[in-house]
Amino acid sequence: MREAARPILSVRDLKVHFKVKAGSAWPWSPARTLKAVDGVSFDIHAGETLGVVGESGCGKSTLARAVLNLIPATAGSIVWMGQEMTGASSQAWLAVRKDIQMIFQDPLASLDPRMTIAQIIAEPLRTHHAEMPDDEVMKRVKAMMTRVGLTTQQINRYPHEFSGGQCQRIGIARALILEPKLIICDEPVSALDVSIQAQIINLLKELQKSMGLALIFIAHDLAVVKHISDRILVMYLGHEMEVAQKKTLYATPRHPYTQALLSAIPIPDPALERKKLIQLLHGDLPSPMDPPSGCVFRTRCPLAIARCAQEVPELRRLNAQSEAACLLA
């Protein structure tokens, strides 16, 4: 069973803080701390998809980059396949990155405009398998292009000659060419049309099934995450608000923030959409440099009580399928 198996990735109490000086501050003024990620924990198993959702600015992309050590973690633990990676050397991370790859949000900006598609997809092989003969590299590149829905006739074209959806397929091919165990998808469909979004999500699901991939799928749209995730982690201002199995989260969300996000999902039926009760959140997302005391969501929570300003709620298990960081859940 998946619960009994050892997770391939285990993250515990991960924190990413930045020292920031305000533009108007005096040179001798102390820097303030921006808490982009503040104590996030999760496990992911082989073949599983963990969806990570939340508003823009809640720390989703920072979390993804910290897991890959693209930005340094301030505190916490990252364990990959039983190996502690926190504070590991660059050489150790280079070896691990063969098994963990990333698909970025902007399909075109993530591709080097001076390189052909063949060079872009082959680059990871050149980096990690420098001894591989050129004909074997090209054989693998062509096979991967076909697998992601590109034609081998496009192999010598440049990124600007492709549509957004095709560029994202190129990014997926580059991420998969090393046959990794985990793919981190950082909002991979947010810049694409709805019909193209469906194609990319279906492609990822098909590749996951055939290759046994684990996915971390980051998005701000719960409707998109629903179609690909097994479990969902809801973030707000760098904190975990709720973690639950997909069916449980959509049927019985326990945190007020999750409930508000779900109420914003449009319903295709106009009659049902008009009758739907939308839970509006008042006010703006607080600054991560000056978060509210106690529960960080309390300033926008319709259920907040005085105790919420005094206690930081811990993520606690509510049942076998869900956990929530709410004093009232």
Residue 237 region by backbone torsions, left for phi larger than 0, else alpha for psi between -120 and 50, else beta: left
Domain residue limits, the chain: 9-99+180-251
Q: Which residues of the chain have pLDDT under 50?
A: 1-3
Query: What pLDDT is recorded for position 285?
Result: 84
DSSP 3-state of 92: helix
pLDDT tens-digit map of 167-222: 999 999 999 999 999 999 998 888 788 888 888 999 999 999 999 999 999 998 88
SS3 content of the chain, % helix, strand, coil (to 5): 35, 20, 45
- CA-based end-to-end distance of the chain: 28
- Note if the pTM is more than 0.85: yes
Cα separation, 247 vs 227, in Å, equals 11
Whole-number Å distance between alpha carbons of 286 and 297: 9
| Close Cβ partners of 175 (under 8 Å, ≥ 6 residues apart) | 101, 102, 103, 183
Tokens of residue 153, six digits? 């006739």
- Give CA–CA dist 170/214, Å, rounded: 19
**DSSP 8-state secondary structure symbol assigned to residue 7:** P
pLDDT at site 124: 93
Q: Please give the pLDDT value at position 3.
A: 47
CA distance 96 to 99: 6
Cα gap 225→192, rounded to integer Å: 15
The H or E element containing residue 91 is helix 90-96
Q: Return the CATH superfamily for domain 9-99+180-251.
A: P-loop containing nucleotide triphosphate hydrolases (3.40.50.300)
Residue 68 in tokens: 């890959």
pLDDT for the residue 22: 66
Q: In terms of Cα–Cα distance, which of 108, 27, 63 is closest to 235?
A: 63
H-type alpha helices, 243-302:
246-251, 256-263, 270-275
